[in-house]
Structure 1
Amino acid sequence: MITVHHLNNSRSQRVLWLLEELGLEYDIQRYQRDPKTMLAPKELRAVHPLGKSPVITDNGLTIAESGAIIEYLVDTYGNGRFVAERGTPAYLKQRYWLHYAEGSAMPVLLLKLVAARIGATPMPFFARPIARKISSGLQGGYIDPQLETHLKYIEGELAATGWFAGNDFTIADVQMSFPLEAAAARGGMGSRFPAIGAFLERIHSRPAYGRALERGGEYALLR
């Protein structure tokens, strides 16, 4: 039996989603973030040395990292579902977006989150103006322009077919769901990126996505 070590409001939600798409049985081991630090609890280190989610265990294996988990699940249980055909341009795109999600998109979004917290963290009154200036400078001078570049790039890609790897839904779309949900929550996209907005609406309307939310529980990125 597959066990998902699931942290609330985290990347592991997309693993639950893929499991629902594949129609697989699985158990959930739940973990809650520390309400002050928002970090994962130390209990996760008993599962994997980095103490982060997602992690799955299956047939004696412990597998971490969203992209590796997603590839393992479709390679082991997918029977060709939700993957582009090998040797095609769509397959190359699928592989690209599996890496891009965490290698390029998420670092900018994490910087956005950290910079915002610099300005909002409780501190002595005399330090607040300095912290807010640092936060504003980071966001306005570097982070926001970088995020805008990424969102424009993604918008252009999605405008072609509505999916990330060819004309059909694939694991690339599962992997890219989290950074785009994070961007919608933190990046102030508004209505400037209609193809991204349509993509999010499309994946959120999938029955398997809804079932994953029911199983996974709180997922604040959708607020």
Structure 2
Amino acid sequence: MLTVHHLGISQSERIVWLCEELAIPYELKVYERDPVTRLGPPEYKALHPLGTAPIITDGDTVLAESTAIVEYILAKYGNGALTVPPSDPAFADYLYWFHFANGSFQPSLMRCMVLARAEVAADKPVAQFADARRKQALALVDQQLSKTAYLAGESLTAADIVAVFSLTTMRAFYPFDLSPYPNILAYLQRIGAREAYRRAMKKGDPGMTPMLT
């Protein structure tokens, strides 16, 4: 049985959502963060040497890293759903946006978050650089969504499932304003209307209202 080990308010929401979109059988185990450190509990950290979310188990397989998990589940259980084949003109877009969130966007947000928590003044060059990269990434997403309903075309793909966390729940850790990006805001309303997304968020983080505005 595929088991999703979900740490509350984390990137593992991607995996719960993926399983709900695919309508595959899975077991969900939810772990709460330590109220003081906001880190995962010892039993979560014991699952994998890094102890970071998400983690799945599937028989004897233990796998971490959200994009690796997404690829694993799609390859093993997806039957071609939520992907774009190499023969499709949108294949390169799919690959780019699938890797964009964790390759470019999420690191830019993490830099901003670390600098803010270190109380680095906003007028310092390093803070200005980090903020510029964050805004550049958001502008790129907004531009793409001015052309297509979803990141890789007119249908939801795994690229969207990977990307949405950085636009939504990540703002619980590092708040930023999406009002300059109307296409992103419209996109998030489309995401929020999806039954699979709503089920996933209710199952994984029932006490949190999805950050779609």
**TM-score, normalization by structure 2:** 0.89
Identity of aligned residues (%): 39
1:192 equivalent to 2:180? Answer: yes
SS at match of 2:50: coil
1:143 equivalent to 2:139? Answer: no
Determine the structure 2 residue equivalent to 1:91.
91
Q: For residue 193 of structure 1, report the CA deviation from its aligned partner.
A: 0.5
Q: Distance in 1 between matches of 2:20 and 2:187?
A: 19
1:178 equivalent to 2:165? Answer: yes
Determine the structure 1 residue equivalent to 2:211.
222
Q: Deviations over 1:33-89 (max 9, x none)?
A: 222332222322321110011011113211111111111111111111111122333
- The answer as to whether partners of 1:11 and 1:53 remain within 8 angstroms in 2 is yes
Distance 1:69 1:206, change over 3 A: same
Q: 1:11-30 residue pairs with structure 2 within 5 A?
A: 11-30=11-30
Q: For residue 183 of structure 1, report the CA deviation from its aligned partner.
A: 6.3
SS at match of 1:3: strand
Distance 1:8 1:135, change over 3 A: farther
SS at match of 2:90: helix
Q: Distance in 1 between matches of 2:105 and 2:3?
A: 28
Q: Distance in 1 between matches of 2:140 and 2:122?
A: 24
Q: 1:27-38 residue pairs with structure 2 within 5 A?
A: 27-38=27-38
Q: 1:112-123 residue pairs with structure 2 within 5 A?
A: 112-119=112-119
Unaligned segments of structure 1, at least 5 residues: 120-133
Distance 1:204 1:62, change over 3 A: same
Letter aligned with residue 147 of structure 2: A
Unaligned segments of structure 2, at least 5 residues: none
Q: Distance in 1 between matches of 2:209 and 2:130?
A: 22
Determine the structure 2 residue equivalent to 1:206.
194
Letter aligned with residue 142 of structure 2: E
Letter aligned with residue 136 of structure 1: A
Name the Cα RMSD after superposition: 2.1
Letter aligned with residue 198 of structure 2: G
Equivalent pairs, count: 209
Which structure: greater helix fraction? 1
Letter aligned with residue 91 of structure 1: F
Distance 1:35 1:111, change over 3 A: farther
Q: For residue 177 of structure 1, report the CA deviation from its aligned partner.
A: 0.6
Distance 1:41 1:137, change over 3 A: farther
Q: Distance in 2 between matches of 1:94 and 1:135?
A: 37
Letter aligned with residue 130 of structure 2: I
**TM-score, normalization by structure 1:** 0.85
- The answer as to whether partners of 2:21 and 2:196 remain within 8 angstroms in 1 is yes
Q: For residue 136 of structure 1, report the CA deviation from its aligned partner.
A: 2.7
Which one has a bigger Cα radius of gyration? 1
SS at match of 1:29: strand
- The answer as to whether partners of 1:90 and 1:165 remain within 8 angstroms in 2 is yes
